[in-house]
Structure 1
């Protein structure tokens, strides 16, 4: 009984530490400036106000939400399509240098993304793609090393007899991929889609570097720009953070079984 009590106490403490920042976001978003200065951060402001959220929604913030949604949808679609084709080629097709090329590509995961930001920006500047949708999407829409690695490992785990039987019946590589392999890869595709949606929605550094106008600004950059000036309006920042948080909470509520399965499948924390 003592061990069980200690276990649940530890789990409760970890859950509280994880949830507490989100609680502060909600409480601060519904406070006035006076309530923020007169009450403790972990206490609600009475009476609560929705003026901060209304002010954010009345401005350009809805446009930034739409920009983020479009970017997320485009990157997710691109990842699923191009990553699947590349992974199938690395897993099933035979060509010279296949394994060497694959492991060289996967080795780029060891390089921090911040290291490649400046070279990517210089390339986009030479191509005149700075502050454009093409520049925002180009580095990641054609697939990522992690996505290709995940799908390749899943393809390699499928029985080879299915593909051999299809080839005996006269099916080509494209037919095998679309009609046999893809229906079996739904768990991996769901995992890749969830990871891509979350990472794209929360992306900050690359959009901050490559975009400067409102036409391509995403919500993470929009929230960060609220810190510019003499003072910082934490009420508006937390209201914007709360609005940005709602879609991800909805994704978790509706796809929590798939998210748990993706954690099991990939080993991610």
Structure 2
């Protein structure tokens, strides 16, 4: 009993530490400037106000939210399509240099993304794609090494007999992929989709570098620019952060079973 109490106490403390920053976001978003300076951060403002949310929505924030949703949808669709084709080729098709090419591609996962930002920006500048949707999407819409590695390993775990039986029936490589392999890959596809949605929605560095106008600005960059004068309006920033958090919370609520399965499948914390 004592061990169980200690375990649950530790879990409760860990859960509180994890949830507390989000609680501060919610509480601060519904406070006025006067309440922010006169009350403790962990106490709600009395009475709460929705003026911060109204002020955020009165500006261009809805456009930035839509831009983020479009970017996330396009990147997720591109990842699922192109990553699946590339992973199937690396896992099942036979061609010269296949394994060498695959491991060279996977080796790029060891390179920090910040290292490739300047070369990517220079390439986009030479192609005249700076501050455009193409420049924002092209570097990541065609798949990532991690996604290809994940799907390739899942393809290799499927029984080869299924593919051989389909070939005996006259199916080609594309038919086998679409009608035999993909229905069996739903757990891996769900994992890849969830990871891509979360990473795309929270993407900051590349959108900050490649975009400068409001037409392509995403919500993370917009939050960083919510400043007045030489200070920061924390009430507006927390209101914007709350709006940005709502879609991710909805994803967690509706797809928590898939998120848990993705953690088991990938081994990620």
TM-score (norm 2): 0.99
Q: Distance in 2 between matches of 1:215 and 1:200?
A: 17
Matched, 1:66 2:75: no
- Report the alpha carbon displacement of residue 231 of structure 1 after superposing the two structures with TM: 1.3
**3-state SS, counterpart of residue 232 of structure 2:** coil
Q: Distance in 2 between matches of 1:22 and 1:161?
A: 49
Q: Which residue of 2 aligns with 1:199?
A: 199
What is the CA deviation profile of residues 219-239 of structure 1, one whole-angstrom value per residue up to 9, with x for unaligned ones? 000000113631110000000
CA RMSD of aligned residues (A): 0.7
Matched, 1:122 2:114: no
Q: Which residue of 1 aligns with 2:47?
A: 47
**3-state SS, counterpart of residue 85 of structure 1:** helix
Q: Which residue of 2 aligns with 1:101?
A: 101
Gaps of 5+ in 1: none
- Correspondences of 1:147-186 after superposition (within 5 Å): 147-186=147-186
Q: Which residue of 2 aligns with 1:257?
A: 257
Matched, 1:242 2:242: yes
Q: Which residue of 2 aligns with 1:132?
A: 132
Once the two structures are overlaid, the 10-residue window that deviates more, 83-92 or 110-119, is 110-119
**3-state SS, counterpart of residue 46 of structure 2:** coil
Q: Which residue of 1 aligns with 2:220?
A: 220
Q: Which residue of 2 aligns with 1:231?
A: 231
- Aligned residues, how many? 269
Q: Distance in 1 between matches of 2:267 and 2:231?
A: 42
Q: Could you list the runs of 4 or more consecutive aligned residues of structure 1 that deviate by over 6 angstroms after TM superposition?
A: none
What is the CA deviation profile of residues 83-120 of structure 1, one whole-angstrom value per residue up to 9, with x for unaligned ones? 00000000000001100100110011111111110110
Q: Distance in 1 between matches of 2:208 and 2:62?
A: 18
Gaps of 5+ in 2: none
Matched, 1:33 2:33: yes
- Report the alpha carbon displacement of residue 169 of structure 1 after superposing the two structures with TM: 1.0
Q: Distance in 2 between matches of 1:104 and 1:137?
A: 23
What is the CA deviation profile of residues 169-196 of structure 1, one whole-angstrom value per residue up to 9, with x for unaligned ones? 1110000000000000001000000000
